[in-house]
Amino acid sequence: MSKNKLSKGQQRRVSANHDRRLKQRADKPEPDDSLFGEARDGVVISRFGMHADVEDADGSVHRCNIRRTIRSLVTGDRVLWRPGVQGGATVKGIVEAVHERTSVLTRPDFYDGVKPIAANINQIAIVSAILPELSLNIIDRYLIACETLEVEPLLVLNKTDLLDEEGREFVDEQMEIYRRIGYRVLMVSSHQKNGLQELEAALTGRISIFAGQSGVGKSSLLNALLGLELGANEILTNDVSDVSGLGQHTTTASRLYHFPHGGDVIDSPGVREFGLWHLEPEQITQGFVEFREFLGHCKFRDCKHDSDPGCAIREAVENGEIDEMRFESYHRILDSMSDMQLKTRRSFSENSD
């Protein structure tokens, strides 16, 4: 995702944080080159602080140090690494370099500007559920991320076994909003294993990331798709609390898994709100795909697409060509961006005093 929307002071703070981390790393001696063998290609399947788990071509996984010249390393990165020549050590290799990424999913961070989440993905499975809450606004946020990154989205609604007939009709109406504008929607149940074959087919041959709020059942879905049973290899998960109706949070670090039928998936920690405040308002507008044919047809070039006279998008809403719920979601996202940018400026200002 593209450019930051930070003031010069904020950019200086981000740069200072980065330089401080580099200095902390520079104070530590690099491992002796003689301890490592020939360089080879691998894939980062997880990142833990100053270490990464790298998968070799033969499927073996090695806990590696990271050269301090590497500024950014995330799950999904393709890397050049060297295995340790001495067996039995906790750290079994070192990451030397990172190959060019085909894509990188990022989210804004108060102190680091924009923080990478995962690399080289070509599909984002946006997982929602009727519990703890079905939030169309969060779905819309992830769709903006997909459109900005130019990565294909897949909408997955989990826990559909909890719906009665009336509830299913309501949810179908909600999901039809997205089907009408070209998005694929799958209705599944990890508990009853309904719809998993169709989901499995949609994931085959792709590098996907499962994204969504905590408690929507991302890890439960992955357990079912990967065929994992209770034991050491199971993805950490907890059921929704009977008291609160909220998921008791699960994944603690992003990790890449291979599906038995082909294709890879990155399971990342759940986020309650996907921040977009590092994007320009024009990028948010472009992220609503049904708006695009009306852009450039407003009476005024600086139209805010709200109550402005001659707004082509507002007219499309009134004519039923754009769903009103999506239009309202668009403005809520823009408003939240303005609020977050103001809070961020205050935070940077206070921390700089």
The reply to whether 118 and 86 lie within a common domain is no
The annotation status of 308 as a binding-site residue, yes or no, is no
The answer to whether the CB of 118 falls within 8 A of the CB of 254 is: yes
The reply to whether 78 and 133 lie within a common domain is no
Q: Considering only 5-19, 67-81, 329-343, which range has the smallest mean pLDDT?
A: 5-19
In which residue are the tokens 């929607």 written? 185
The annotation status of 64 as a binding-site residue, yes or no, is no
Query: What is the full DSSP assignment across 63-102?
Result: EEEE-TT-----TT-EEEEEEBSSTT-S--EEEEEEPPPS
Q: Residue 76's pLDDT is what?
A: 96
The annotation status of 160 as a binding-site residue, yes or no, is yes
Angle at 331 between CA 123 and CA 322, to 5 degrees: 70
What's the whole-number average pLDDT of the chain?
A: 83
Write down the pTM of the prediction: 0.78
Q: Considering only 34-38, 42-46, 185-189, which range has the smallest mean pLDDT?
A: 34-38
Please state, in angstroms and rounded to a whole number, the distance separating the CA atoms of residues 64 and 54: 7
What tokens were used for 270? 């759940």
Q: Residue 136's pLDDT is what?
A: 93
Model confidence band, residue 276 (pLDDT cutoffs 50, 70, 90): confident
Please write the tens of the pLDDT for every residue from 94-146. 999 999 999 998 877 666 677 888 999 999 999 999 887 788 999 999 999 99
CATH number of the domain residue 193 falls in:
3.40.50.300
The annotation status of 24 as a binding-site residue, yes or no, is no
The reply to whether 187 and 252 lie within a common domain is yes
The reply to whether 241 and 129 lie within a common domain is yes
The annotation status of 297 as a binding-site residue, yes or no, is no
The annotation status of 303 as a binding-site residue, yes or no, is yes
Mean pLDDT of 145-154: 93
252: left (phi over 0), alpha (psi -120 to 50) or beta: alpha
The reply to whether 169 and 307 lie within a common domain is no
The reply to whether 83 and 162 lie within a common domain is no
% of the chain exceeding 90 in pLDDT: 54
**Which residue type is seen at 271?**
V
The annotation status of 212 as a binding-site residue, yes or no, is yes
What tokens were used for 196? 């998993």
The annotation status of 283 as a binding-site residue, yes or no, is no
Q: Please determine, for residue 36, whether its predicted confidence score (pLDDT) is greater than 70.
A: yes
306: left (phi over 0), alpha (psi -120 to 50) or beta: alpha
Q: Residue 133's pLDDT is what?
A: 79
The annotation status of 3 as a binding-site residue, yes or no, is no
CATH number of the domain residue 69 falls in:
2.40.50.140
Q: What is the CA radius of gyration of the chain?
A: 22
The annotation status of 219 as a binding-site residue, yes or no, is yes
The annotation status of 58 as a binding-site residue, yes or no, is no
Model confidence band, residue 241 (pLDDT cutoffs 50, 70, 90): very low
The answer to whether the CB of 289 falls within 8 A of the CB of 182 is: yes
Which H or E run contains 118?
strand 113-119
Please write the tens of the pLDDT for every residue from 41-57. 999 999 988 899 999 99
Q: What is the residue range of 259's domain?
A: 104-267
What tokens were used for 121? 């993905």
Cis peptide before 132 (omega within 30 of 0): yes
